[in-house]
Chain A
Amino acid sequence: MASLWQPRTGGLLALAGVVAGLPLILPNAFYYDVAILVGINATVCVGLNLLIGYAGQISLGHAGFFALGAYASAILTGDHGWPPLAALAAGAVGVGVLSFVLAQPILKLKGHYLAMGTLGLGIIISIVLNQEAGLTGGPDGMPVPSLRALGHTVAGEHAWYALVGLVLIVSVWLTLNLIDSPVGRALQAVHGSESAAALTGVDVIRYKVLVFVVSAVLASLAGSLFAHYAGFITPAEASFARSIELVTMVVLGGMASTFGAVVGAAVLTILPQALTAFQDFKMLVFGAVLMGTMIFLRKGLVPTLAGLIRNRMRSGRA
């Protein structure tokens, strides 16, 4: 089974180790809550990073897909009594179809225009969730029943931590598989040069649509989990600010680095909590941290640090 042991296996084991080890040092429910939110955000970011970091496309509307998943679960389980897993799957399929249909026209756009197109998409989803009060409860939000599957209810921070941790590890594993495959190379080729990719036989549109759908579906799944975990959701989940937050996590952690996406999600989820001590200056410090990172660690946290360590090891050997 030599194929199992590769550079990426080490990273995956490290992630699993962190997820398994954290409960030893998490002191109380508050910390568990932050860790669970980190896991949910990281799952979205791992998918978003496939789109942004690897395929070189941008989406400023991914919070919309996250919220659609969340509302699909809320509405189908709460109002229609669907089993949560069926609602989660229905949300994922719905978002998959929606993103597939929208991807064709949207991904013909490039650069700023693609950003604007996805931005518009996110805003439309946000408006619909706000306005369709009969369905979504409007700006007041709506409650979500707890997650029940196979006769068990997922309740309490330990159960949720385990579930979200597992989902994150599986997402990272599948993503790493994908990147190191013909599909992953094709995505990165599209990023590198669309003409050259097309002339080596890569169906550029097909792969752009594929990665858009995959990242949207992953966001939807994470949204469904979040809805059940939080027990109450509002249209704020679909807000533009939330979409920007997700993109920032990917960029901060490091583009085209799956573990970077996880680290970025962790930093930007934990930081606001850690900065509560600064009270009124919270956003100021938050902004300064972001600017500092982007100025001094241009490639993002994980790629920059990995590069430093590699150089250190090389000079150590020489």
Chain B
Amino acid sequence: MTLLRVEHLSKSFGPSSAIENLSFAISPGTIHSIIGPNGAGKTTLFNLISGLYRPTSGTIWFDDADITALPPHRRARCGLSRTFQNLQVFLNLSALDNVMVGYHLACDGRFLPSLLRLPSVVRRDRDYREQAVALMRFVGLEAFVDAAADAMPYGALKRLELARALAVQPKMLLLDEPAAGLNPKETAELDFLIQQIAAQGITVVLVEHDMRLVWSVSNHILVLDHGRKLAEGTGWEIRHNEDVVAAYLGEGGRHR
């Protein structure tokens, strides 16, 4: 059983290749980490999976369908959702409306019903607004329900992106460096949050540099180096892989 399968994926920007002949699979219900040095191609890989980039070659299968050629909004419909390393919050909207955009696929996005504000649109909006508030509470943003997004601190914006990504009701959630810029207490809360999300049956894939978080939450780890797969396996296997230690972790990294 696999939820995501990447086969012989390559992406080059001009002469330099960011991802080279990469194949791996992710089974549903797991927490999967992708680690590697800066420039290893982790974010490129996320952009390929979520559809922001088109691969130079290779195939991406999601939920037994070939999504290689699908535009990003169709992949969201298939059940893929993500957060961004450099925040992509809708700063022109309120915090709650950011989460409401996450429910876009569930709401009625047709023009005429919206223009005439039909009762069905109003009702559905109200229902999802309640759910959005619940989601904000779930990620710890109850204090920001009425806030404007551009008035929120960095850590809260990261949670807001998470709430928005969850509102898409994904099967798989891609988290791009969720712990970056967080203090140890916030990281511990994030750790707990990720476990809760996974417990709901959502497959979580994270790109992360905070090794403490990676060791703590991951069932499975993929190590990238220069766009290629360096190693793959459980936390224990990765920590004891000589190549990984040499290329990325260093001697101290095993024990962090």
Q: Could you list which residues of chain A lie within 8 angstroms of chain B, going by C-beta atoms? A: 3, 56, 174, 177-178, 180-186, 188-189, 191-193, 195-204, 210, 214, 256
Contacts and interface: CB of A to CB of B under 8 A. Distances in A.
Contacts of A174: 115-116
Contact of B93 (A183, A185, A199, A204): A185
Contacts of A197: 90, 101
Contact of B90 (A184, A193, A198, A214): A193
Given A186-B104, A188-B97, A192-B90, A178 B114 contact: yes
B92 A200 contact: no
Given A181-B114, A189-B104, A192-B92, 5 more contacts: A181-B113, A189-B93, A189-B101, A199-B51, A203-B73
Nearest to B122: A3
Contacts of B111: 183, 210, 214
A134 to B, nearest CB: 37
Given A177-B117, A184-B114, A201 B104 contact: yes
Interface of B: 50-52, 71-73, 75-77, 80-82, 84, 88-93, 97, 100-102, 104-105, 107-111, 113-117, 119, 121-122, 125, 161, 164-165, 167-168
Contacts of B75: 199
A198 B81 CA distance: 10
A181 B125 contact: yes
B163 to A, nearest CB: 11
Contacts of A178: 114-115
A188 B90 contact: yes
B142 to A, nearest CB: 21
The 6 closest A-B pairs by CB, nearest first: A192-B90, A181-B114, A201-B76, A196-B88, A182-B107, A198-B72
A98 B109 CA distance: 23
B100 to A, nearest CB: 6
B102 A181 contact: no
A182 B117 contact: no
Contacts of A185: 93, 97, 100-101, 104
B88 A202 contact: no
A126 B134 CA distance: 53
A197 B72 CA distance: 9
A198 B92 CA distance: 16
A177 B116 contact: yes
A175 to B, nearest CB: 9
A200 B77 CA distance: 8
Nearest to A191: B92
Contacts of B102: 200
B93 A188 contact: yes
A310 to B, nearest CB: 11
B149 to A, nearest CB: 8
A195 B167 CA distance: 16
A133 B152 CA distance: 58
A234 B102 CA distance: 47
A195 B52 contact: yes
Contacts of B116: 174, 177
Contacts of A200: 76, 81, 101-102, 104-105, 164-165, 167-168
A178 B117 CA distance: 7
B207 to A, nearest CB: 15
A192 B89 contact: yes
B93 A182 contact: no
A268 B84 CA distance: 42
